[in-house]
Copies of this chain bind each other. A is one copy, B any other.
């Protein structure tokens, strides 16, 4: 996920950044509200972590501004302990959740996951990912081709979902490794190739439809037709 952190205490900001990066997120930190607001408007983040105590602009105002400008990105507020009024104000200003400082990092991760889950639950418009005569139902986690249901394992599903969300784009092994296995390094193994093979056996072998997962030698794999 791409995450924007607006936090003036540099130590706290660095702590959050480091921790989130260890969880394979992409993080940008702004120490002032003005810069943070600008960034939020210009880029498309998956989550904004916003300290309410900021120099320059009040966090609640910032939050309200973003919502007024139709920025729908989930916002997680950081508040001082027992700042009940801040919490109420913040939620009214359009924030989605809050976390009282000081907090354990695991709490932050938990909130973050809860938020993305909630968001995914609401965004049900993309329940089915389809390409050519292949469909992937993100609710049932089942694939379907030629009227036939196909059961996938967790890794197979993650891989197919990635391919279907990036049809026509060549995905490098490094990118696949990071997205599906959460690894940022090259393991030196052929695990990805093996899983591509598993997928091909399930969604291509025995089906009359054309080949969908194509190898680009030296580059990676693509989901495409022709």
B141, A216: Cβ atoms under 8 Å? yes
B113, A174: Cβ atoms under 8 Å? yes
A217, B153: Cβ atoms under 8 Å? yes
Least CB separation from A84: chain B residue: B88
Chain B residues, Cβ within 8 Å of A157: 219
Say if the beta carbon of A18 comes within 8 Å of chain B. Answer: no
Say if the beta carbon of A106 comes within 8 Å of chain B. Answer: yes
Distance between Cα atoms of A92 and B147 in the complex (Å): 49
Say if the beta carbon of A110 comes within 8 Å of chain B. Answer: yes
Say if the beta carbon of A168 comes within 8 Å of chain B. Answer: yes
Nearest-Cβ distance from residue A19 to partner chain B, whole angstroms: 12
Chain B residues, Cβ within 8 Å of A99: 92
Given known A-B contacts A168-B140, A224-B140, A94 and B117 have beta carbons under 8 A apart: no
Q: Known contacts A139-B170, A153-B218, A154-B217; can you find 17 more A-B pairs with CB under 8 A?
A: A64-B104, A67-B104, A67-B107, A67-B110, A70-B106, A92-B99, A94-B110, A110-B186, A113-B122, A113-B174, A114-B174, A117-B175, A139-B168, A141-B216, A141-B219, A154-B219, A157-B219
